[in-house]
Amino acid sequence: MSEHIKPRLGFDLDDTLVGRELLTRMGGALKGLFLHSIPYLDPSKLPQMDHGPSIIGGYNEVSLHFHRGRRAYPGAIRRLEELAEDNDLYIITGRPAIVEWRDATIKQIRREGIPVPEENVFMTPNHESTIISKAHAIKMMGIDEYWDDNLRTQLALSACFPNKKFNWIRYGVTDTPVDELLVASRDNLHSIPISEWK
């Protein structure tokens, strides 16, 4: 009798499970106006990396303060609690894999009741692209489905892994400009309005 392997589901943290401040979200939208290219990722050529915490690199205390204070979306947590019954859950975040950030993130996950074990939290190694880091974690952990609020990230990942499912948490007014035809052309990319998620 073979052991049943649970599907593995991955989630970004900021603006996917916990809310960012409106001003921060607006700044991200403005930055997105200048980021039109979507990187091409080849899963066979992703670099090896360690997502564990590092003591190398500094950290911005002000940024860390805002990140650690963010609250979870109650609707997202309810969905994760339901999903946790039949799936293994992972957090794959762009937060830096620096000891102070890792410690603050784990405390936040526990405080907010996010049902993801500490060993299933993957952060972005120092000096690594967030998109490449997320692609590496998805490949390494065999993630079947991934949720993220960043369309550029989701477009790159859905092209890199055409046999996996990607869910874009869509904010509306603070989104980066959207090529609706490009989004519609990706069978493995689905849009979820934030009003249905949080």
Does any domain span residue 3?
no
Structure tokens at 93: 């975040």
Structure-derived torsion over alpha carbons of residues 108, 97, 116, 194, reported in degrees to the nearest 10: 70
At residue 127, does pLDDT exceed 90? no
Does any domain span residue 93?
yes
For the chain, what is the domain count?
Answer: 1
Q: How many CB atoms sit inside 10 A of residue 14's CB? A: 21
pTM listed for this prediction = 0.87
Query: Phi then psi for 89, rounded to 5 degrees?
Result: -105, 145
Does any domain span residue 65?
yes
Of 147, 192, 141, 183, residue with least CA distance to 165: 147
Query: Phi then psi for 72, rounded to 5 degrees?
Result: -75, 150
Q: In the predicted model, what is the mean pLDDT of the chain?
A: 85
Does any domain span residue 190?
yes
The CATH number covering residue 13 comes to 3.40.50.1000
130-141 and 151-160 are packed helices; what angle lies between their axes, rounded to 10 degrees? 40
Answer with the residue of higher pLDDT: 177 or 70.
Answer: 70
Positive or negative torsion for Cα 174, 177, 179, 185: negative
Integer angstrom CA distances of residue 83 from 3, 80, 133: 19, 5, 24
Does any domain span residue 85?
yes
- Structural domain range at position 73: 8-197
Quote the DSSP letter at residue 136: H
Of 25, 17, 103, residue with least CA distance to 59: 103
At residue 34, does pLDDT exceed 80? no
Task: Work out the pLDDT band at 59, boundaries 50, 70, 90.
Answer: low
Task: Work out the pLDDT band at 29, boundaries 50, 70, 90.
Answer: low
Task: Work out the pLDDT band at 1, boundaries 50, 70, 90.
Answer: very low
- Residues of the chain with pLDDT > 70, as a percent, come to 83
Q: How many CB atoms sit inside 10 A of residue 63's CB? A: 13
Does any domain span residue 1?
no
Does any domain span residue 148?
yes
Does any domain span residue 2?
no
